[in-house]
Structure 1
Amino acid sequence: SIYARYLNNNESRESEDFICRCTTKNTFGRFCEYICGQKPGNTYKTFYELFEESLSKRLDDGVLAYNPIRQRECYSLRRTCSALCLDWRDLCDGEWDCAAGEDEMYCEHLDLNECNENQFRCRNGLCIPIEWFMDSRLDCVDATDEQRKQSDDHDACYSMSSIDCSEVACGEKQAYSCGDGQCLSWHERFYKDRTPFCKNGLGFFGICESIGFVTTATGGCSSGFFVTVTNMSVPCDQLVRCAAVADRSCTSNDVENLQQHALDYCFRNMTHGYLYSLPNILSPFVDAYFTREQFESDDEDATRLPALFCSSDKAKCLHFHDVYNEKYPFPPFEYLFGQQQSLPDYCLNSNAFYICPNTHKCISNYRLLDGFDDCIDRSDENPNLQRQLNSKFTRHRYRCAIQNDETILPHLLGDGNNDCSDGSDEFEFTSDRIINWREEDCLNLDDTICRLIRGDAILYVDIYMKDLCDSKFDLQHSLDEVDCGPEWICPKDWKKGRSQISGSCLHQSRFQDGKYDFLDGSDELHDDAPCIHGPHPWLKCGSNHSSEIMCEQFGDGNINCIGALDEQQRLTCGQSGALNNRFYCRSDSRCLLISYICNGVLDCSDGEDENELLCGPRGGCHNESFACLDRAVNGKCISSERVCDGKKNCPNGRDEETLCWWR
């Protein structure tokens, strides 16, 4: 091996050989992730032993121990931040990393880039052929051409060499990009347990102090800063840093004594504290500080984080938790500490740019009403902006079902967040269609759901007239049970429900028959009775799993009961239609057949399908069987396949009652 020869002889014999230069002695590898001679309790006898054990650890543990002090590829701009190492994702991301804003210069040209009619415009302004929009393959660098829930799973990227990983940016300033496709919320920048939240080790860039290293001028980590502390006579900035991180390079074994000495000797006359890392690493407007209060705290990890953020002129300081706060949609350094900048002339063109009220920052009109917060006060997502906006800025958007002036990028559909104020991007219920976007995945170009998102789905389905508005959901998305309002006349011996949500027709024989047919279940209640369901042996709803639930909670799109038994006709199971007589696992978003319920086997990851409130005790029955519970001890057990088969197999008939809520 070239590496082995180089490490043994400190030279390369072949002139054509290429060796990656790592800054730390005895480290090597593509990312300087291997360390020679540090096997616990021993040293590696050969290079191959080292390689074999490192590979084994990677395969067995699924973890590759990256070296936090390794270098990364970077852009170095010439003027005010020539030393700072910037990732390409830091350029034109709407957040200043350089004091003079060099990393955001000329970005307005990209912001205003206009795509052709036969192209889809990615959020970052680049264009792709319209045929690539919602085709299940990532083509936009920011992944906005596909559903976010399909593009968010990049946890394995750190161990792969894939363009789908290395070429992905993470929603610009709203998220932190690890550099290989893994994305994290911006406010997760510091982790209390000091584990690298980026699996590739780059999560410590600019905050190396949180793991006992020192941030260099480029933002990378170095272990060569600390001096040996023997007589407490070192400069205070080094002493405080050494006491804060309790680094192994500090030879004082008495960390508490070292920290007390820092308190007594260094913090006596300090107004703010000592720099946490080099100035302007986290933001060109901010310095971070260690403070006296950190060393007085009983929390061992308190000193690993900066306690105070101050503007560069120290005119304004804020506590750590006042800055790293989820109430802000992105890092608020510029908003909280930045100097007011004069607006460029191009921002005055209201036909192309919008000025955020609180910060006087200007953004392209393409960024309005897209579901992403670009203004710190989120004013760029105000539906009232739609009236003054040229329609070209909102092409290929999803219109929220109730608030039609609200639009978002289809990228956000079903991602678990209510980006539409009416929540229709997660569960859409209108007179035209019912779609649970959380369960609908665009996986193939010709999938119906992909075509629905693109707007080119024209569906022709043959269905008998008698099957329309009959309270049976025959078509996907319940299309056969919409528009069943007062104008729809029921056949003879059929009648409508008493509420708007139960507007379909139902045969008289199916009222009060023990089976719910209307969305709100009101067919099982007398007309003069309050619209409250319960008690039932199988209906366990609410936080306390009581046996009662209001009619308006039935079929409202929100799961209130174990197994989603209150949403049998609203929830869909992928391409297989409504939930109907199946059981819904909330933890896995899966639909289970009745034979899998109360059979002693945990099919839902959280065990919801075997909840004792629903199933009762097992009574000694083996797995994959159903407990009749006909006797207190040694009751009858039957095969789970015989549950709800129309025959009473249990002496007490429990197999045809408890779980057979739907026929």
Structure 2
Amino acid sequence: MVTPIYGRILLYNTENKTTVEKFDCVYYVTDDGQEIPYCQRLSANQHIDRNWNECQNQGERILFHDLISKGIEPNEVLSWSSSIEIADIYASIFYNQSLIEKNDHQYVCKCIKPGTFGKYCQYQLTHDVTAFNAAINIQFKQKETGDSWNTQKYGKILCYETLSLQSYKLCLDWREICDGNPQYINGLDEENCDKLEFNECEDDEFRCTNGMCIPEEFWLDGVYDCMDWSDEYNIDLGQSCSFQAKPIECDEHLCHSNTYSCGDGQCIEWFTRLVFQREVSPGKDCYNKRNLNYMCEASQDQPSWTLEDGLFGVTGQIKCRGYHFSTIKTEYLPLALVFSIRHMHYFLCAMSEYINGYRDNSSRFQYEKNCWNEFRTFNDRPYAVFSGVCNTSRECISQYRIHDGYHDCIDKEDDFKHFEKDYCTGNVKRHRFQCFHNEHKCLSISYLGSGKNECSNGYDEIWYDTGNAIAQEINCHEGNDAGCGRLREYIRLSSISNISLLERQDKMPTHQISFYVYCNSFWDLNNHIDESSFACKYWTCQHYEYECQTGQRIQLDWVCDGEWDCADASDEEAIVLINTWSAHNANLSGLNNKVKECRKRYSQSPFSTKCNTSSMKNRSIYMPIIQINLLFSTLAFQQSIKSNNRIINK
């Protein structure tokens, strides 16, 4: 655990090594306890070899011999903001002075100047502050409130270096690898990406939109776990990432394939990437202006590739489905085509028969002809892919992208075309919104309450049982996950097409209620739909609550108290009819003692030797009955001492 201490800066990873991924790290600790390393990184042809004999920035050079003679303890050396490495070396010598020789020249740099730190005091904090956290907070605040054109003052654009892109003058973000848009020669930046696109998850996992798998309990828990944020109800494109230190949410955020990654977690519309175009009105730039970098129009060495007549030149090689295509000469096409679609290469493949070039059907640089339909996933399941979609441009997309709300085919066929078969199947089915009928929708969470009706009945915009805007009903995000459970159940129920039991509530006035009053054995809605056994059987109880056979949840103290709280009396007489506990009740502490109370209570009632349910023998011989006083009490449920809205079945 790294603990920031005011007045000193702890520097890690300062050892001299020939190859290291990072060095000279300072840890920034967020308010919620996350530790974020800020480190130096080497370029491909660099190595660390620092054997300096002097301190920088007015730092005081002190030999270990002199420190020991003065009795300076290691903790004091640590406060000089040198490095953890030097403090550890000195501590080993201080506590075992036989390790140091008379001619030893080891030394420590005492950083005297405020804000300086480092093994040689070679670093200095910005903004004249003395604490690293303060410098970071000021920089983020300055980015948010200052001139956005000055955002790179304290950093630089990082480029993906695994593929050599220098000859192409490309600076790809790592998020642009396997983003569905080939930018490297022969599409090597999209090599083997199908293994993720068509991946299948295990039965107890949630499948992210991009094919990544996470444990199902992380789905809709208020915290992003999928790198594309598809496990949560997100309402932004990472706009706050430029102003906050969020290593998990932002640094690992993948943008949707129809958007452009700014390199820090923010995503913008694809049109904005091509800043020089005039065909489409652009949106806002990346706050860090990444979309303005490495633009061919700004090159002083190369002529502009767009022409005055609005055409652009196409030349080179491209990977297509079933073949590799090479142009013979430069072809000119309307510039508007570039800006109308994110994955222009699919359109060019579709146009290849009209372009002067050569098809190589035997090249290894091609997309699989049959969309990998005969392939198996990592866990030996068939690829979830339907090749009968995207017929114009012939993209290969996961079947779970059909009717998911996003346009993945260039011609938008995946969302607008009617399919007789439902492709929202398997594990994905229970995690996607399906509109409560047979439209074969498979909507991602982010399309709930988006302001645009994707369901013909509007239940993706209006909450089914309240009539309120769904955006007002959803209360599931980091710091406030109170509504996550209710949202999960709403999505699961949406796959049920026969809901005649619930249809009548559309015509009845209702009011908004909190999720925790559903299925609690009290009527809170006029049409009593909040206690419907049809819906309550899907409800989730708190760990300390008793789960009725109807799915309702009550306090454990109410079990065997002489009054029906469950609509089916499964908390009183009927509790002894239960042969096998539900998974929830099986782990409920104290329940067995409550059952013993029930047996004792009702064994002493009138006719208990004949008409009770406590005996397995009596259950098979006699028709179980209940006491008439309990039956009559149902007529007076409004006088219940617990509530005037108690539910019991007559």
TM-score under structure 1 length normalisation = 0.44
* Larger-gyration structure (1/2): 2
TM-score under structure 2 length normalisation = 0.45
